[in-house]
Amino acid sequence: MTIHNLDIDNSVLNHFISEIRDVKIQQDSMRFRRNIERIGEILSYELSKSLSYENKEVITPLGSKNISVLADNLVLCSVLRAGLPLHQGILNYFDHVENAFISAFRKHSSPEKFEIKVEYLASPSLDGKTLILADPMLATGSSLVAVFEALKSLGKLKQIHLVSVIAAKEGIEFVQNHFPQDTHLWVATVDEKLNSKGYIVPGLGDAGDLAFGNKL
């Protein structure tokens, strides 16, 4: 797996990350969603550099120009519900993609033990296509692996790109062992560890709750 950690170099991305982490600023759910969306846009721009392109002649009012345009057939799949603002950010840049949505949640048998349940999937065929799989928090990595297993029956993929806002090192190691070797991971920043409940530390809390309100 090729890992692209964007916080290695300073950019405006760091400003958006600081705001989604800040306990005062993140209480504004609209701003939280917008910051996740903007991070998705930045990740998409960097991801776009690794895709396939083809030459196209574009006719202008005054002549013509040969331009390299995207050639990959893309499918953007986001993990509900936390992935929706990130999905929108990616969609802002790849507006021609096909879209897929999948649910994945933690079913706890105790405060510190859980399994990932996948109960909903809506997706086009994935055969021969490039998958962008978006989940804002890559904690244990179990959700992404469960989602990938659910998607396998929909066709043989050309390429896989994972997109996350914050990842824990343990989660990165886990997905490395379960995704194809040529998979790319695009992440805005990487945190050191998980706590005993499998949440990223320092992280930012529950991204779904911060974006859309507390759940039962």
Asked if the structure places residue 114 within a domain, the reply is yes
Asked if the structure places residue 216 within a domain, the reply is no
The mean predicted confidence, pLDDT, of the chain is: 94
The span from the CA of 85 to the CA of 101, in Å, is 13
Each residue's pLDDT tens digit, 7-51: 999 999 999 999 999 999 999 999 999 999 999 999 999 999 999
Which residues, in sequence order, are CB contacts of 88 under 8 Å at separation 6+? 37, 40
pLDDT at 116 over 80: no
Which helix or strand (DSSP H or E) is residue 21 part of? helix 13-21
Q: What is the CATH number of the domain that holds 180?
A: 3.40.50.2020
The span from the CA of 1 to the CA of 187, in Å, is 13
What's the number of domains the chain is made of? 1
Question: pTM of the entire structure?
Answer: 0.92
Domain of residue 79 covers 2-53+70-204
Q: What percent of the chain has pLDDT over 90?
A: 86
- The residue assigned the tokens 């499918």 is 75
Each residue's pLDDT tens digit, 66-81: 999 999 999 999 999 8
Angle at 190 between CA 181 and CA 24, to 5 degrees: 145
Asked if the structure places residue 61 within a domain, the reply is no
- The residue assigned the tokens 């504004």 is 28
The confidence score (pLDDT) of residue 66 equals 97
Asked if the structure places residue 214 within a domain, the reply is no
Cβ atoms 40, 86 nearer than 8 A: yes
Cβ atoms 154, 183 nearer than 8 A: no
Nearest CA to 127 out of 98, 107, 88 is that of 98
Beta strands in the chain (DSSP E): 2-5, 53-60, 63-70, 74-80, 98-103, 105-110, 113-117, 121-122, 130-134, 137-138, 159-168, 184-191, 193-194, 200-201
Asked if the structure places residue 156 within a domain, the reply is yes
Each residue's pLDDT tens digit, 174-211: 999 999 999 999 999 999 999 988 889 999 999 999 99
Asked if the structure places residue 211 within a domain, the reply is no
Q: What percent of the chain has pLDDT over 70?
A: 97
Asked if the structure places residue 136 within a domain, the reply is yes
Helical residues (DSSP H) of 22-156, grouped into ranges: 29-48, 84-93, 142-151
The confidence score (pLDDT) of residue 196 equals 86
